[in-house]
Structure 1
Amino acid sequence: MRTLCACLLLALCAAPAAAQAERSLLDFGLTAEALSKLCKNAKTSAEARLTALAFAKPDFQSTFVEFQEILSDLQDYTSVPQFLGQVAVDKTVRDAGLACDTEISKYGVEIYAREDLYKAMKAAADRGELLEGEDARLAEKTLLDFKRSGLGLPAADREKLKGLRQRLVELANDFTKEVSETKDHALFTEAQMAGVPADMLKRLTKVDGKYQVSLDYPDYYPFMENAKDPGARRVLETKFNLRGGEANKKRLAEVLRLRDEAAKLLGYQNHAEYVLEERMAGKPATALAFLSGLREKLYRKGRPELKALLALKKAEEGAKSDGMLHAWDWRYYHNQLMKKRYQVDKQKVKEYFPTDLVVEQMLRIYQEVLGLRFSEIVPAQAWHPDVKRYEISDSRTGVRLAQFFMDLYPREGKYKHAAAFTLIQGRVLPDGSYSKPVSAIVANFDKPAPEKPSTIPHSDVETLFHEFGHIMHQTLTRAKYQRMSGTAVARDFVESPSQMFENWVWEPALLDRISGHYLDRSQKLPKDLAAKMLAAKNADSGLIYLRQNFFAAYDMSLHTAAELPDTTALYAKLMKEVSLIPMTEGTMPEASFTHLMGYDAGYYGYLWSEVYAQDGFSRFEREGLLNEKTGRDYRREVLERGGSRDEDVSLRAFLGREPSDEAFLRNIGLNLKTAKKS
Structure 2
Amino acid sequence: MAPTQQSPLNWDLTKDQIEVTYKRLINEKKTLLDTIAALPLTEATFDSVVLPIARLDNETAAEFGVITFVQHVSTDKELRDASTDAEKALVEFEIECGMREDVFKVVDTVYKATDQSKLSPEDARLLEKTHLDFRRNGLALPKDQLAELRTIKKRLSELSIQFSRNLNEADVELLYTREELDGMPDDFIAGLKTKDEDGVTKYVITTQYPDLFPLLTLATREESRKRMAVAGESKCKENVAILEEAIELRQKAAKLLGYPNHAAFVLEVKMAKTPEKALSFLKDLRNRLAPLGQSELDQFRKYKQEDLARQGQAATNVVVESWDYRYYMNKVKEREYNVDDEAIKQYFSMDNVTTGMLSIYQTVLGLKFVEKKGVSQWHEEARLFEVWDGASDTFMGHFYLDLYPRKGKYGHAACFPIRPGSQLSDDTYSTPVAAMVANFSKPTPNTPSLLKHDEVVTYFHELGHVMHHLCSQTRWARFHGTSTENDFVEAPSQMLENWCWEPKVLRGFSSHYQTKEPIPDALLDSLIKSKNACAGLFNLRQLFFGLFDLTVHTQADGKVDTTKLWRQMRQDISLIQPAPNTWPAASFGHIMGGYDAGYYGYLWSQVFSADMFYSRFRKEGVMDPQTGKDYRFKILHPGGSRDGGDLLRDFLGRDPTIDPFLKSLGLE
Flag whether TM exceeds 0.5 (same fold).
yes
2:601 equivalent to 1:615: no
Which of 243, 259, 269 is the matching residue for 2:260? 269
2:587 equivalent to 1:603: no
Which of 109, 112, 127 is the matching residue for 1:123? 109
CA distance in 2, matches of 1:491, 1:242: 29
SS in structure 2 opposite 1:620? helix
2:151 equivalent to 1:157: no
2:632 equivalent to 1:648: no
CA distance in 1, matches of 2:407, 2:584: 35
Q: TM-score, normalised by structure 1?
A: 0.81
- Output one character per residue of 1:104-142: Cα deviation in whole Å (capped at 9) or x when no partner: 333322321322222221121121433452222111211
Shift in Å, 1:401: 3.0
Which of 359, 362, 380 is the matching residue for 2:354? 359
Shift in Å, 1:644: 0.8
Once the two structures are overlaid, the 10-residue window that deviates more, 656-665 or 212-221, is 212-221
Matches within 5 A, 1:322-341: 322=317, 325=320, 327=322, 330-341=325-336
What's the counterpart of residue 28 of structure 2?
45
Which of 390, 399, 403 is the matching residue for 1:404? 399
What's the counterpart of residue 628 of structure 1?
625
Once the two structures are overlaid, the 10-residue window that deviates more, 219-228 or 373-382, is 219-228
Shift in Å, 1:65: 1.5
Shift in Å, 1:608: 1.9
CA distance in 2, matches of 1:456, 1:230: 24
Tell whether the 8 Å contact from 2:49 to 2:106 is kept in structure 1 after alignment: yes
What's the counterpart of residue 371 of structure 1?
366
Tell whether the 8 Å contact from 1:206 to 1:212 is kept in structure 2 after alignment: no
What's the counterpart of residue 8 of structure 1?
none
Q: TM-score, normalised by structure 2?
A: 0.82
Once the two structures are overlaid, the 10-residue window that deviates more, 131-140 or 443-452, is 443-452
CA 38–560 in structure 1, closer or farther in 2 if over 3 Å, else same: closer
CA distance in 2, matches of 1:147, 1:59: 19
- Output one character per residue of 1:342-401: Cα deviation in whole Å (capped at 9) or x when no partner: 454444433323333332222221121112233455765656676554443333333333
CA 50–375 in structure 1, closer or farther in 2 if over 3 Å, else same: same
CA distance in 1, matches of 2:98, 2:525: 54
Tell whether the 8 Å contact from 1:425 to 1:474 is kept in structure 2 after alignment: yes
CA distance in 1, matches of 2:260, 2:97: 26
Shift in Å, 1:551: 2.4
Tell whether the 8 Å contact from 1:549 to 1:604 is kept in structure 2 after alignment: yes
Question: Structure 1 stretches of 5 or more lacking a match?
Answer: 1-15, 673-678
2:623 counterpart letter in structure 1: L
2:522 equivalent to 1:531: no
- Output one character per residue of 1:42-78: Cα deviation in whole Å (capped at 9) or x when no partner: 4333332222222343111211121111122121333
Tell whether the 8 Å contact from 1:60 to 1:129 is kept in structure 2 after alignment: no
Which of 119, 141, 144 is the matching residue for 2:129? 141
CA 308–513 in structure 1, closer or farther in 2 if over 3 Å, else same: same
CA distance in 1, matches of 2:497, 2:319: 35
2:26 counterpart letter in structure 1: K
RMSD: 4.4
CA distance in 1, matches of 2:302, 2:455: 33
- Output one character per residue of 1:431-490: Cα deviation in whole Å (capped at 9) or x when no partner: 444333233444566777998655444344333322221221112112221111111111
CA distance in 1, matches of 2:508, 2:636: 25
2:537 counterpart letter in structure 1: L
Tell whether the 8 Å contact from 1:185 to 1:212 is kept in structure 2 after alignment: no
Tell whether the 8 Å contact from 1:615 to 1:663 is kept in structure 2 after alignment: yes
CA 119–171 in structure 1, closer or farther in 2 if over 3 Å, else same: same
Tell whether the 8 Å contact from 2:400 to 2:435 is kept in structure 1 after alignment: yes
CA distance in 1, matches of 2:435, 2:224: 45
SS in structure 1 opposite 2:49? helix
1:47 counterpart letter in structure 2: K
Shift in Å, 1:196: 6.7
Shift in Å, 1:263: 0.6
Shift in Å, 1:428: 2.9
Once the two structures are overlaid, the 10-residue window that deviates more, 447-456 or 74-83, is 447-456
What's the counterpart of residue 79 of structure 1?
65
Matches within 5 A, 1:241-390: 255-317=246-308, 320-322=315-317, 325=320, 327=322, 330-342=325-337, 344-376=339-371, 380=375, 388-390=383-385
SS in structure 1 opposite 2:511? coil
Shift in Å, 1:515: 1.5
CA 541–123 in structure 1, closer or farther in 2 if over 3 Å, else same: same
Tell whether the 8 Å contact from 2:193 to 2:203 is kept in structure 1 after alignment: no
SS in structure 1 opposite 2:361? helix
Tell whether the 8 Å contact from 1:196 to 1:222 is kept in structure 2 after alignment: no
2:454 equivalent to 1:468: no
Once the two structures are overlaid, the 10-residue window that deviates more, 181-190 or 60-69, is 181-190
SS in structure 2 opposite 1:22? coil
Which of 545, 549, 558 is the matching residue for 1:555? 549
SS in structure 1 opposite 2:399? strand
Shift in Å, 1:528: 2.1
Once the two structures are overlaid, the 10-residue window that deviates more, 91-100 or 359-368, is 91-100
Shift in Å, 1:289: 1.4
1:655 counterpart letter in structure 2: L
Matches within 5 A, 1:548-587: 548-562=542-556, 570-571=565-566, 574-581=569-576
- Output one character per residue of 1:237-276: Cα deviation in whole Å (capped at 9) or x when no partner: 789767788x977776654443222211011111110111
- Output one character per residue of 1:304-348: Cα deviation in whole Å (capped at 9) or x when no partner: 212322333444456741265455654554344344334544444
Q: How many residues align?
A: 651
Tell whether the 8 Å contact from 2:219 to 2:225 is kept in structure 1 after alignment: yes
2:423 equivalent to 1:428: yes
Tell whether the 8 Å contact from 2:58 to 2:423 is kept in structure 1 after alignment: no
Instruction: With a CA cutoff of 8 Å and minimum separation of 6, indicate the structure with the bigger relative contact order.
Output: 2
Once the two structures are overlaid, the 10-residue window that deviates more, 94-103 or 226-235, is 226-235
2:37 counterpart letter in structure 1: A
CA distance in 2, matches of 1:524, 1:63: 60
Which of 639, 642, 662 is the matching residue for 1:665? 662
